[in-house]
Every structure is written in structure tokens, then in C-alpha cells.
Amino acid sequence: MAFDPLEEHLLNLTRRRFFGKVGRTMSSAMGAAALTSMLTRAAGASGDQPRLVLPRGPHFAPKAKRVIYMHMEGAPSQLDLYDYKPTLRQRFNQDLPDSIRNGQRLTGMTSGQTRFPVAPSIFRFSKYKNNEDGVWLSELLPHTASVAHEICFIHSMHTEAINHEPGITFFQTGTQQPGRPSFGSWVSYGLGSSNANLPDFVVLITQGIGNMQALSARFWGSGFLPSEHQGCRLRSGSEPVLYLKDPDGMKRDDRRAMLDLVSKLNQTEFERTLDPEIQTRVAQAEMAYRMQMSVPELTDLASEDQETLDMYGPDVKKPGSFAANCLLARRLAERGVRFIQLYMRGWDQHGNLPSEIKAQTGAVDQPQAALIKDLRRRGLLDETLVIWSGEFGRTVYSQGTLTTENYGRDHHPRCFTIWLAGGGVKPGISYGKTDEYCYNILENPVDVHDLHATLLHLLGMNHEQLTYRHQGRDYRLTDVSGKLIKPIII
């Protein structure tokens, strides 16, 4: 922790007193986590405990109370979905001009190619009414198109990473190196829980159809933040959280008595070692105890009417499908969970892109549109920030053989499209512009730090003030950069 032993000692003294209070309250009948956040908030507000590992609440009035982040793992092709480039149809199989490529570094997968033939999208686009002069969207997304008036498309997103692991790590943690806290963990740390019976940060994963890259649990890890802020993955199937159920024959009273005893022992150990992870452990045991009741209620779809289920599509009853996870995301959102992270795997279409992307969009299009409609009519969309993004885009040139029926696309970090909806983002607009080849950004570039800064702003937090001291310096999600994208905020 701190380098100076004396400083560390003094720090411990104040922390000991502080946690002493927490501990005493914790053993009462009330939930430990709720109290931790209650006491910590007070400490944060008083300003004299800057290093406490504690949620502090919004800095200013938030537009969004929570986030649903749909990450398309593998990087979907912006050219075939969102970024309409009609003139490329007349450049079929032409070589990509070097003036456009501009010395861009390539992945090992295409750097050996002798030529870079332009592959226009073979999907037809349609124009949909929005709050500007309309937005063009691919025929692959008919349902998403039906909510285009709710969506803010950012066509000028760019990133530094050129491969999946560092790319996702950059989007999730603000740096390409593993080890920093995930975006969801920062939100949990910054805002605290708004449902004491469920985790602040929930992760839902859908297996895709195509080429699937590794999806490490560290993408939702809390890094150096206390581990209570890490994402909790809900599995599909009958047991959303492993080992949550009491064994047969164990009564809830017995479990309570056991937890009380264990937390007493933990408290003694904590007073001896002052390790905050012990407090986390106690809080998590309490959370698990409450989740024994709250998770079955969450995953029981009996209260959903048929019309709603139909809206999410035929897969909605299939555990782990994107439809089921979108519905679960809405149920989590209406229960006040702060950060809901959805992963859809399988977008890494280096070859056979047309057939694979059809399968992928077939799985996500209807559910993601249904999620927006469902949030909207329940009055939740205005306070729920929905994000749809991959870790980078895909190239305009074909990887492998190019025909008018088939092609592949390599990784492209220089420009790609993501979209946002609800939560204080201007609905029905497009932001940023790419060149004719969808290779470089022409105006309003948005980098990952800018996006993070903007998202935190919508959640009521100043990205420069949301810090955590670790190894002698204050860390931020946005590291040393990040500027607000004001034009997309209401």
C-alpha cells in the first residue's frame, strides 16, 4: 500500500477506528453491505478520509441511474451494420489506396496479404427517421432500426488496441494492460449499491455463433479496488449463482447463526490485520445470504406477460440466449442494479462474414430493440444508459478471397460505430464521420477515454474526481485523458 511505513501506520489508526464502527454495526440484524455504504458515504462527504475504499455517491445530479452495457465481443463490422458507404459499391475489388491506409499497422493475419481489395457491404441499407435528417441502417437490423429514434450512433469511435484481449481490456478498464478495475467496478465503487439485495455489478454472457475469442473473468474484475466491486456473473440455467443454495436440510436460521459466528471471527481477524479484504468477505457473505432470496425472485419469469416475452423473440425462454439476457437485464434494471454487463460472443468474422454476421444479428437484433422498447414504456429508459459496442471495428478491405457473395474483414481500430440510448444521451442523432472508405475519421473523433468520461458524467460523476489510491498514486478510469463529448448529451 503506501510506501512510507509511518504514514501507513497513521492511516491504519484512523482506518481501525473507522472500521471499528462499521464492524459493530455490521453484526446487527441489518445488512452489512448497506451499512458499509451508508457509513462510507458519510466519510466520503466529510472529506477527511480521502483514501477510504468507499462509495461516495454522485458528484452532481445524474442523468442516468444505471448502465446496461452490451459488449459485442469479437468486434462487429461497422460497414455491414451502421456506417453506410454507398460509393464503395463502385469500388468493388479495387485496391485500397495507400493514402487511405497511411502506414497503418496491420495484424499478422493480413499483413502478409499482397493486396487489400475493397469489399463493399453486400447488405442493403435503409434510411430511418430520427431527430436529425435520418439514419441509414443495414437490412441486418430491422428491429434495431425500429427504435432508431431512441439511439445516438457514434460513427467516429477509435481505439489503440488491434487485438481482442487488449481491445476489450481497454474498453472495460481504460488501459490495454490487464489489472485495472473494470468500468462496472468503478461505477459500483463510485455510486454504491441501489439494491441491497443484489450485487451492484452483474455480468451476463451469451455464447455466439461464429469465431469466439477468449472471454476472461478479469474483464469484470475489480483490479485494485476492493473485490466487493467486482462483477458477479449470473449463469444461465437453474443455478444462476453457483453454491448459493443452502444444502438440503440446512435451515435459514442455521445459516444465519453460522454467518454471525464467522463474521465475528472475521472481525477479530480484521482488528488484528486491518486487511480491508476481510470486510469485503463479510459483506459478500451477507450479500450471498440475501441473494438466496433475491436471485430466485429475479430469474423467475412467471410475472412476465406473453406480449413482453414475444417482443424479445423466440429465444427468450432459452437460458443464456441474448434474448433471455436482455430480458434479465431489464429485470435487473428495474430492481435498481447499477451496472449490467452483457457480452455477446462470436463477432470475429475474418472469413465468411456475410453468413456469420447474419446469424449474429439474428440473435441480437430483436432482443436489443425489445430491451429499448421495454425500458421506454416502463419509464426506465430515461434513467438507464444503454451502450452497444465492440472492442474495435473491421476493415474495409477483404481478408481472404473477395467475391460478391463472400468476404472476410480484419480488425480495424481506426474507426468504428457504437451506439448509446437513454440515460441522458440525445436520442435519434449521429455523431462523427468517417471517410469514403470507412477507414479514417473525418470529424469528431471519440476515443475510449472520452467515452468513459462521458458515461461517468451521465452517471453524475466527474471522471477526474473518481480516483483510488494504489501503489502511491491516484488512479482514474480515464487515466490522464478523457474529455466530455458534450454534443451528445441532452
Of residues 250-269, those binding another protein (CB under 8 A): 253, 256-257, 260
H-state helical runs in 192-248: none
Between 205 and 372, CB nearer to another protein: 372
How many Cα atoms occupy the beta-carbon half-sphere of 78 within 13 Å? 32
Q: Are 459 and 191 in contact (CB under 8 A)?
A: yes
* Options 69, 82, 116, 128; binder of another protein; rule CB under 8 A: 128
Say how far apart CA 468 and CA 450 lie, in whole Å. 19
C-beta neighbour count of 86 within 10 angstroms? 11
Between 236 and 454, CB nearer to another protein: 454
> 60 to 99, contacts with another protein by CB under 8 A?
60-62, 86-87, 89-94, 97-99
**CA distances (Å), origin 306, targets 48, 317, 430:** 53, 11, 34
* Grid cell listed for 14: 484512523
Applying CB under 8 A, the span of 30-38, 225-233, 236-244, 281-289 interacting with another protein comes to 30-38
Cα-Cα end-to-end distance for the chain: 41
Between 46 and 471, CB nearer to another protein: 46
SS3 label, residue 378: coil
* Options 141, 147, 205, 466; binder of another protein; rule CB under 8 A: 147
Between 87 and 238, CB nearer to another protein: 87
Contacts for 431 with CB less than 8 Å, ≥ 6 apart? 152, 153, 154, 155, 156, 444, 446, 485, 487, 488
**Residue that is written with C-alpha cell 432459452 in the block:** 318
* Grid cell listed for 307: 406480449
> 446 to 475, contacts with another protein by CB under 8 A?
460
Applying CB under 8 A, the span of 7-15, 19-27, 224-232, 271-279 interacting with another protein comes to 19-27
Q: Binding pattern to another protein, positions 326-365, x when CB under 8 A?
A: --------xxx-----------------------------
By CB under 8 A, the count of residues binding another protein is 84
Residue 83's nearest CA partner among 344, 322, 426, 419 is 419
388 binds another protein (CB under 8 A): no
* Options 5, 103, 108, 247; binder of another protein; rule CB under 8 A: 103
Between 216 and 268, CB nearer to another protein: 268
282 binds another protein (CB under 8 A): no
Amino acid at 40: T
Handedness of CA 290, 291, 292, 293 (dihedral sign): positive
Applying CB under 8 A, the span of 41-49, 175-183, 227-235, 481-489 interacting with another protein comes to 41-49
486 binds another protein (CB under 8 A): no
How many Cα atoms occupy the beta-carbon half-sphere of 23 within 13 Å? 22
245 binds another protein (CB under 8 A): no
CB 412, min distance to another protein, A: 16
**Residue that is written with C-alpha cell 487488449 in the block:** 166
CB 399, min distance to another protein, A: 18
CB 414, min distance to another protein, A: 11
C-beta neighbour count of 164 within 10 angstroms? 21
444 binds another protein (CB under 8 A): no
Q: Where are the beta strands (DSSP E) in 107-257?
A: 125-128, 135-138, 151-158, 201-206, 232-233
Between 68 and 205, CB nearer to another protein: 68
Residue 481's nearest CA partner among 170, 56, 55, 230 is 170
Contacts for 115 with CB less than 8 Å, ≥ 6 apart? 95
Applying CB under 8 A, the span of 280-288, 348-356, 375-383, 443-451 interacting with another protein comes to 375-383
* Options 107, 126, 211, 467; binder of another protein; rule CB under 8 A: 126
> 188 to 207, contacts with another protein by CB under 8 A?
191-198
376 binds another protein (CB under 8 A): yes
Amino acid at 73: E
CB 472, min distance to another protein, A: 26
* Grid cell listed for 341: 454487463
406 binds another protein (CB under 8 A): no
28 binds another protein (CB under 8 A): yes
